[in-house]
Amino acid sequence: MRSTSVTLCFLLRERPGIGPEVLLGLKKTGFGIGKIVGLGGHVEAGETDAQAACREVYEEAGITVLEEDLRDAGLIEFVFPARPEWNMSTRLFTSRRWAGDPVESSEIVPEWFLVSALPLERMWQDAEHWLPAAVDGGVVEAVITLNEDNETVASAEYSSRSV
């Protein structure tokens, strides 16, 4: 079965005296409701992954990111054996340049988190396998297979390389 093309974009900033932070958000509706997630969503027909990432960041948090300011942070294949229609091919991006301040949308309540203290216990369980490397400048390639409950990780095959 085909995977749905999805993007996630992690905005990163350096707070003097505090350290690096990443913008994540509390999901208010739809897939992942109640979890802390990255900004992103489906790639629409005719869009590139980068265009979708920029659009989604704007729709979800009111922030303008330019394609040329995106850094490729890898690709994750999510496999849901119990719900193959949920399978996702997820392109990861980070950016350290954008315009605007995060604002709440109908879908997301944005919040800055220290990269050294990611809220992994409030996220999808798979995030612990790849998110720290992605927001620390790595490029992640992974296949995450979920259990029958569509929540917990059955297996995680991944690699990360620094750039």
Per-domain boundaries in the chain: 4-162
Q: Please choose, from the candidates 93, 113, 82, 16, the residue with its C-alpha nearest in 3D space to the C-alpha of residue 52.
A: 93
Q: Does residue 117 contact residue 132 with C-beta atoms inside 8 Å? A: no
Q: Which residues contact 16 (CB under 8 A, 6 or more apart)?
A: none
Q: Which CATH superfamily is domain 4-162 in?
A: Nucleoside Triphosphate Pyrophosphohydrolase (3.90.79.10)
Token code pair at residue 3: 């995977």
The CA-atom distances, in angstroms, between 146 and each of 86, 118, 142, 155 are: 11, 21, 13, 7
The pTM for the full model equals 0.93
Which residues make beta-bridge pairs with 124?
A: none
The pLDDT assigned to 48 comes to 97
Host H or E run for residue 12: strand 4-15
Q: Chunked in runs of 10, what are the mean pLDDT values of the chain (163 residues)?
A: 89 95 95 93 96 98 98 95 93 97 96 96 93 93 92 85 68
Tokens 């309540």 correspond to what residue? 109
Tokens 């029958």 correspond to what residue? 148
**Helices (H), strands (E): how many in the chain?**
2, 9
